[in-house]
Structure 1
Amino acid sequence: MTEEFPRMSFPNESSEYREARNALLDAEIALRRKTEAVAEMRRELPPGGVIPEDFVFERIGAYQRPEKVRLSELFGDFPTLLIYSYMFGPERDVPCPGCTHLLDCIDGAARHVPQRAPLCVVAASPIARLAAWAHDRGWAHLQLLSTAGNDYNAHYYGNTASLTLEMRTARGYKSDENWDEPMLNVFGKDGDTIRHFWGSELVFAPDDPGQDHRGLDVIDPVWGLLDTTPEGRGDWFPKVDYSR
């Protein structure tokens, strides 16, 4: 149903265009409301599972030296922690271009998000390799951690190790092959208890025809910008290096 409120118009537009644009605006308003309704459902989730262990990561600390840090320490003085699993394991010559373009964008957000909740990026490569890549990429605000030596990604779907046989069969994955995956997980800390709050499970949900999983679109401005264009996303996909 069309809502009654003053509508915009642009120079020399046709009545046909305005009618279609008004209908689209109504759909955009409905989507905005649905987006907030989904966010409210997320905020009202009951307590998630307690973490199985206080995972130990490696990061670059004082004097540019590697140091160990536990997941519990990453919260600082905040009750919430965000961790993004980056597809950049030691077996990859270069990291996933999809993850990389997203982190290019999130590096700017990482100036602001930690005012409300710490944001970390984890990957299985050694910390020196991650730090060198971040430097080359020009990431000034992201906090990168190495999961080398811990099972964080296996527990929280930063790789495919924990997929059930049923999930593998549904997606055509072989039982003896594993690789890293993009995954955003949010954790909450209450006293000494740390629980999983939310994970981007849409990454592993069935794709709609002609789409990929779109599991992290909510935090990805590249796809949002392209969705505003007449050409849309098309079959284009980001690259790590556009000069090649």
Structure 2
Amino acid sequence: MTTSALPPIVDAASWRRELDALRVREKAATRELDAIAAQRRRLPMVEMPDYTLEGEEGPVRLAEIFGDAPQLIVYSHMWFEGEEWQCPGCTGFTSQYTRLEFLENYDARFVIVTQGPIDEALAYKRRVGNKMTWYSTANSSFGADVGAPPGAGFAVNVFLRDGDTVYRTWHTDGRGTEQLSHTFPLIDLLPYGRQEEWQDSPAGWPQSPTYSRWGSSKDIAAAYGEPGA
């Protein structure tokens, strides 16, 4: 495959100078992310009500979802009633997380909550091959209270448990979730990047409508889902 959309071709020394100039900005961005993380660790927190969610084995209190860990990351997965295939963005985002045991070394757990009824949610989990533990907030205001109301919205929230009391410590949604993904960081390393129209790319670079290159939920199910689920 050949294309006219090619970066300039230079000698190795010139390439190294350009890379070194970019590296200055990359290192500055790393230091800024370190500073942001430090500020995040100093955020205040807010006490949460004693919510009851639905798990695979029945009702469960929010404090119990932590297991033995004091820290909890919750991804609120969008859910649309009656739809066979749920949000492709949420489905693709969460499909990345197949090995989360490392969080145990940091006294934390990562789970999914969704507004869908628990039986439907668990069936969808199997269909798309998701590995995380799922809970339903269909009979609770929890989802709406943390930025993911019924029929709309996705979010990431972080909680801290002290005994049976749960506190909300951090929240993000929209593009704020990108830093938690490995797909976009990898794609952004490529010469053509995400190839979406909104991106600042050189003239002639391949560009497509936003989201058009994203895999559908059906695609993800075909790649990762349980046969017959």
1:13 to partner: Cα distance: 4.5
Identify unmatched segments of 5+ residues in structure 1.
1-11, 62-66, 160-177, 204-212
1:196 to 165, 168, 171: 168
Deviations 1:177-222 (A, max 9, x none): x73211010111123322110111xx3xxxxxxxxx4210111111
Counterpart of 2:18 in structure 1 is 20
1:225 to partner: Cα distance: 0.6
Q: For residues 80-95 of structure 1, what are the structure 2 equivalents within 5 Å?
A: 80-95=71-86
Counterpart of 2:114 in structure 1 is 123
CA contact (8 A) 1:124 1:148 kept: yes
Hey, what's the Cα distance between the residues in 2 that align with 1:149 and 1:55? 10
Counterpart of 2:179 in structure 1 is 218
Q: Report the residue type matching 1:196 in the other structure.
A: R
Counterpart of 2:147 in structure 1 is 157
1:91 to partner: Cα distance: 4.4
Q: CA RMSD in A?
A: 1.9
| Aligned residue pairs, count | 194
1:231 aligns with 2:192: yes
Counterpart of 2:47 in structure 1 is 50
Q: Report the residue type matching 1:198 in the other structure.
A: W
- TM-score, length-normalised on structure 1? 0.74
Partner of 1:84: helix, strand, or coil?
Answer: strand
Deviations 1:145-200 (A, max 9, x none): 111110011111012xxxxxxxxxxxxxxxxxx73211010111123322110111
The runs of at least 4 consecutive aligned structure 1 residues that moved more than 3 Å come to none
Q: Percent same amino acid among aligned pairs?
A: 29
2:68 to 77, 80, 90: 77
Hey, what's the Cα distance between the residues in 1 that align with 2:43 and 2:138? 31
Hey, what's the Cα distance between the residues in 2 that align with 1:128 and 1:190? 31
